[in-house]
Structure 1
Amino acid sequence: MADTSASLKNKYDSIIFDLDGTLWDSTANVAVAWQTAKQKVDFIKDDITQADVRSITGMAYDAIFVKLLPYLDDEKRNEFKAHCSVTELEILNELGGELYPQLEETLQYLKARYRLFIVSNCQNGYAETFFNHSKLRDYFEGFQCYGTKGQPKAENIVDVVNDFGLKATVYVGDTQGDYEATVKAGVPFIFCNYGFGKVERGQVATISSFGELAEIL
């Protein structure tokens, strides 16, 4: 059951979702894509595993490669990142990611009651691969990604709030970084503990499966 101290029903007019670790898990195929990109250069020391990808999920796309490859100079890091961004979209467009259980039926329930959006730290074109694979584009009124404007998640949340005239939104995500972005943006946070991160305090609710959103909202 969801952990929430007070009813959240009728509190919000909209919901903004994170993508990775909240709506789907694409880490296995992203690892395949980045490992494929590794074959195109000769300066990456180690294999890139699903665990590596999980460890950086939720970070801004540029910051990911700084953390994973601190031994590279900017030129080589950017070269590898460019290869990764291409192979990632190619492979995800073909193979997609693993959609979390009860995703569509829960979105269907929420869509009848709230305006739905996505704000993710993913690269440009990544959200489109999610839509192409999941066939869930029609549930979302809009989306904003790091790759669209190159700005932090908090600013993207604020942009969606302002651009769509949202009066009382809530953000659903799975990492401490997600929570910190909502604090900066001034919106409440629901934590998905089935995702990739940990949030100890500050959330208005914690859910252990996506379907629990239908219970609390």
Structure 2
Amino acid sequence: MDSIIFDLDGTLWDPLDVVTEAWNSVLAKHEEQLLSRDDIKGVMGLQHQEIGDKLFPHFSEEKHREVADQFSEVECRRLSNEGGRLYEGVEAVLDKLSEKYDLYIVSNCQEGYIESFYKYHGLDKHFLDFENAGRTGLSKGENIKLVMERNNLSNPVYVGDTTGDQQAAKAAGVPFVYAQYGFGEVDEFDHVISEFEELLALFD
């Protein structure tokens, strides 16, 4: 193994409290029903169109684009200023892992989201590259392949917390480490961790 590629939400941090408040501030302006933390937890890891289809099936295509753009702007601004909740030990574990492995992030988020994570928590020093669906329009599996190709990775693993992450790792042909503490339930995986710090023993 030469590298580790991470999912973001439900793997490195839990941003749900801030994201819920951000989205609801937008929905209130549109006089739409507000969402719960569990509503948003249920769509974490999906691309924006999939989120719209699941949470707002009554929106026109034009309104969905308008609201999604507003979600993105408010969400990234607030996360840049307030951050999310890092899982226990994330910074110390990344520091140790980066001594031995090249680290990357691949997420289904919009442009600016990973940058917001970096800005508030200052963890960009640990990662050599990142990619997201908002920038490329590609699936997560394709974005994993893209990061592998442009960084000449021959033997990475992918760490994530949802079935979508497992399927993306499979599509990219890389082993999958299931972060069981995150947002999803996954039945198929190569390795499983119940807390982030277990990565140190797994990759020792």
Shift in Å, 1:151: 0.9
Q: Which of 70, 89, 97 is matched with 1:110 structurally?
A: 97
Partner of residue 38, structure 1: 27
SS at match of 1:112: coil
The Cα offsets for residues 105-139 of structure 1, whole Å up to 9 and x where unpaired, read as 10011101100000000110000010011111010
Taking only aligned residues, the RMSD between alpha carbons, in angstroms, comes to 0.9
Equivalent residue number for residue 20 of structure 1: 9
Shift of 1:78: 1.4
Counterpart mapping for 1:75-86 below 5 A = 75-86=62-73
Offset from partner CA, 1:27-82 (integer Å, 9 cap, x none): 1110000001112323x2x2111111100001112221221101111111111111
Identity %: 41
Structure 2 residue 190 is matched with structure 1 residue 204 = yes
What amino acid sits opposite 1:79 in the alignment? E
CA distance in 2, matches of 1:58, 1:136: 21
Aligned equivalent of 2:149, options 162, 165, 173: 162
Alignment of 1:141-156 (within 5 A): 141-156=128-143
Could you tell me how far apart the structure 1 residues matched to 2:2 and 2:181 are? 25
Stretches of 4+ aligned residues off by more than 4 angstroms? none
Offset, 1:100: 0.4
Q: Does 1:121 align with 2:105?
A: no
* 1:86-121 residue CA offsets vs partner (Å, 9 max, x unmatched): 111111112110000000110011101100000000
Structure-1 separation of matches of 2:123 and 2:73? 23
Counterpart Cα distance in 2 of 1:61 and 1:75: 13
Query: Which amino acid is the alignment partner of residue 74 of structure 2?
Result: T
What is the letter of the counterpart of residue 210 of structure 1?
Answer: F
Q: Residues of 2 paired with 1:207 and 1:153: CA distance? A: 21
Unaligned runs of 5+ in 2: none
Q: Which has the higher contact order (CA 8 A, sep 6+)?
A: 1
The equivalent of 1:60 in structure 2 is 47
- CA distance in 2 between partners of 1:196 and 1:136 (Å): 21
- 1:49 corresponds to: 36
Distance 2:65 2:164 in 1: 23
* Contact 1:66 1:77 survives alignment (8 Å): no
Q: CA deviation at 1:141?
A: 0.4
Give TM-score, length-normalised by structure 1: 0.91
Q: What secondary structure sits across from 2:117 in the alignment?
A: helix
Cα shift readout 1:135-172 (whole Å, capped 9, x = no counterpart):
11010000001111111101000000000000100000
Gaps of 5+ in 1: 1-11
The number of equivalent residue pairs is: 203
